[in-house]
Amino acid sequence: MTTARYAIYWAPHAGSALARLGEAWLGRSAEGAVVGARPVVAGFGAAMLDATTAEPRRYGLHATLKPPFRLAPGRHAEGLAEAMVDLARRLAPVSPPPLRLKRMERFLALVPSGASLALTSLAARCVAHFDDYRAPPDADEIARRERAGLTAAQQENLRRWGYPYVMAEFRFHVTLTGPLDPETAARLEPALAALFAPAVAAPLDIRELALFREPVPGAPFELVQRAAMVG
């Protein structure tokens, strides 16, 4: 079995204000774009910001639609890419409310400022559509996730879809930090909200699916391909 993992994400298009700022903040572009200098945040040195962004930097600037998975036996990356293009052709673009910064448990992320049934439906369709390509999680992964204290609904999602936070448990978010202690989060949150406010002022416009790949465990995720939603 291949050790590579794949995921279907939404990723702001290269050159957009959100992509430029988000990639500069993380210090990396998953599609190899030139990354600008990291914004200065008072009270946070370069080393501290490197540590704060280490986890999301590996995944790239994105919001998850189909969580990372290994390919099932008999499935291939080429077929997965074709399936993504085929689905995107039948999906209409989605325009949820603008993003805003929010503290989600221990990390900071950009989330829609209002509910969007269309966005939730898009993620659910991606989870179901690509599930035939997903190898089941192994016992160690299941045990690790169950130790996080899942609800009954999340445990059912883990058994059915291989990940707890899908379907009714789905929350669209663009992660900007790794886990933070409460004091650090309280200091960073207002500065990060002000920093990203100009880049997220316009309504969110989701017009593409993006296939990402983690070549080997622990490696940075890379953008493989985009597919336009034209349904």
CATH number, domain at 171?
3.90.1140.10
Is the pLDDT higher at 146 or at 104?
A: 104
Give Cα 210 distance to the centre of its chain: 10
Closest alpha carbon to 2 in 87, 98, 93, 71:
71
**Would you state the structure tokens that stand for residue 215, as one six-digit string?**
């070549």
Q: What's the confidence (pLDDT) of residue 215? A: 97
**In the predicted structure, residue 173 carries a pLDDT above the cut 90:** yes
Indicate the number of domains in the chain. Answer: 1
Which element (helix H / strand E) includes 191? helix 182-196
Q: What is the mean pLDDT of residues 70-96?
A: 97
Q: What is the mean pLDDT of residues 139-168?
A: 91
Instruction: Give the residue numbers spanning the domain of 24.
Output: 5-228
**In the predicted structure, residue 1 carries a pLDDT above the cut 60:** no
Distance CA 216, CA 214 (A): 6
pTM assigned to the model: 0.95
Share of the chain above pLDDT 70, in %: 100
Q: Are 174 and 22 in contact (CB under 8 A)?
A: yes
Q: pLDDT digits over 134-145, tens only?
A: 999 888 888 888
Q: What's the confidence (pLDDT) of residue 100? A: 97
Q: pLDDT digits over 23-75, tens only?
A: 999 999 999 888 999 999 999 999 999 999 999 999 999 999 999 999 999 99
**In the predicted structure, residue 180 carries a pLDDT above the cut 90:** yes
Distance CA 14, CA 16 (A): 6
